[in-house]
Amino acid sequence: MAKNSVDTRFELQRDRVLKAAAHCFNQKGFSGTSLKDVAAMLGLTDAALYYYVKNKEELVYLCYLRAADVGRDAMQRAINEGLDGLATVNRYLELHIGLMVGDHGPVAILSEIPSLKPRHRDEVLRLSRQHSRRFEEILERGIADGSICDCDVRMTGNAIMGSLNWIPKWFHGDAKTAARLQREFPEILCRGLVAVRGA
């Protein structure tokens, strides 16, 4: 258990580092945040970060992985509830928004994927495409079960994911308004999907 406790301690700190980094990237942009900034937020020295990540590039990479995790978890949980297509979309959005603006901490959605090293860039793009793909599958399922209107799933998917991913750019409210966002935003995004009965 000793070994184990040490390991989780490390993992925990590492997670705090990633959270702090994501926060900084969201707030000050990528080129605008130095490792010193991230470290300062944790009461550490910039050099200390190298105990947890290999370099800045890996730091960004891990932030992206974290972001991908959040999205994947939300989607999986939504799917597991066994609702129809439209309701699944709605539930997924609710969960994902909750994780984005809630206590799980901010997630960096930024434009620095191209500057990742090839191996990492490919991995992140793969995960991103996979996520989009799964979302489209939910839309297709919804069309099949009659809950979602007939639409181009590719474009519709991109439209909804765009709205979702854009949230961190404009939302900087407190927990109360975050809750309102989580409640009302999914409905707004789903309104355009509703299949008209008898159409």
Partner DNA sequence: GCATTATTTTAATCGGCATTAAAATTTATT
Partner DNA sequence: AATAAATTTTAATGCCGATTAAAATAATGC
Footprint of a second copy on this chain (CB under 8 A)?
25-32, 110-115, 132, 149, 151-152, 155-156, 158-167, 169-171, 181, 184-185, 188-193
Helix pair 118-144, 56-80: axis angle to 10 deg: 20
CB of 66 to DNA, least distance (A): 18
Report helix, strand or coil for 194. Answer: strand
Query: Cα separation of 82 and 71, whole Å?
Result: 18
From residue 53 to residue 92, what is the string marking binding to DNA with x (rule CB under 7 A)?
-xxxx-----------------------------------
Query: Is-contact 131 68, C-beta < 8 A?
Result: yes
CB of 140 to DNA, least distance (A): 42
Q: Which stretch binds DNA (CB under 7 A): 6-14, 69-77, 127-135, 190-198?
A: 6-14
Q: Is 45 in the site for DNA (CB under 7 A)?
A: yes
Structural tokens at position 48 = 């200390």
Residue number, 65 or 159, with CB nearest to a second copy? 159
Pick what 198 binds: DNA, a second copy, none; C-beta below 5 to 8 Å, kind-dependent: none
CB of 160 to DNA, least distance (A): 34
Query: Is-contact 41 28, C-beta < 8 A?
Result: no
Query: Is-contact 121 113, C-beta < 8 A?
Result: yes
C-beta neighbour count of 63 within 10 angstroms = 27
Count of residues making up the chain: 199
Contacts of 82 (CB under 8 A, 6+ apart): none
Pick what 113 binds: DNA, a second copy, none; C-beta below 5 to 8 Å, kind-dependent: a second copy
Residue number, 46 or 184, with CB nearest to a second copy? 184
Pick what 83 binds: a second copy, DNA, none; C-beta below 5 to 8 Å, kind-dependent: none
Pick what 36 binds: DNA, a second copy, none; C-beta below 5 to 8 Å, kind-dependent: DNA
148 forms beta bridges with: 194
